[in-house]
């Protein structure tokens, strides 16, 4: 008798190029499909993780819970890319950005429909799920 091994490959649906195929935090993709961008928080020391982690590197606890990234953050850094990593060339031009939510920061992309001259450091942004033309999912920052 042989037992078929199931590969958990939900992360394949994330982004233009999947960055990992097997991970403990695949629920992240299920949440994206429901329109939610989620991080994890350690229930023992309170440390917050984005991208989500299944265990806490700070206190080594595995006692982490999901929370939804909601509300407004502030744009603290951004950069318009002229050259993209392998696999992302077709997405150019786009801007990578860092949005500060207070007790955590999120790295991602600015929504493609924000005119360059409206992007300002300190502006309020929200993180939303985005469906790519090829059907893959990611998240982007939109103006509030
Ligand atoms: Zn912890």
Domain map (residue ranges) of the chain = 10-68, 73-143
pLDDT category of residue 84 using cuts at 50, 70 and 90: confident
Spacing, Cα 127 to ligand 1 middle (Å): 25
- Give this prediction's pTM: 0.79
Q: Average pLDDT of 53-59?
A: 90
Residue bearing the bigger pLDDT, 144 or 92: 144
Q: Above 50 in pLDDT, residue 20?
A: no
Spacing, Cα 122 to ligand 1 middle (Å): 30
CA distance 112 to 20: 25
Structure-block tokens of residue 101 = 């939510």
Spacing, Cα 90 to ligand 1 middle (Å): 39
Residue bearing the bigger pLDDT, 12 or 113: 113
pLDDT category of residue 43 using cuts at 50, 70 and 90: very high
Spacing, Cα 106 to ligand 1 middle (Å): 19
Spacing, Cα 62 to ligand 1 middle (Å): 8
């Amino acid at each position: 008798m042989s037992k078929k091994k199931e590969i958990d490959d939900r992360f394949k649906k994330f982004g233009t190029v999947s960055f990992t195929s097997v991970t403990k935090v695949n629920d992240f993709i299920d949440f994206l499909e429901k329109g939610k961008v989620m991080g994890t928080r350690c229930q023992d020391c309170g440390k917050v993780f984005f991208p989500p982690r299944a265990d806490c590197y700070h206190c080594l606890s595995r006692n982490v819970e999901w929370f939804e990234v909601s509300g407004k953050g502030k744009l603290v850094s951004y950069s318009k890319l002229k050259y993209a990593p392998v696999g992302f060339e077709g997405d150019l031009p786009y801007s990578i950005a860092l949005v500060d939510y207070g007790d955590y920061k999120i790295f991602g992309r600015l929504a493609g429909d924000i005119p360059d001259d409206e992007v300002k450091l300190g502006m309020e942004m929200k993180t939303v799920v985005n469906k790519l033309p090829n059907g893959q999912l990611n998240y982007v920052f939109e103006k509030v």
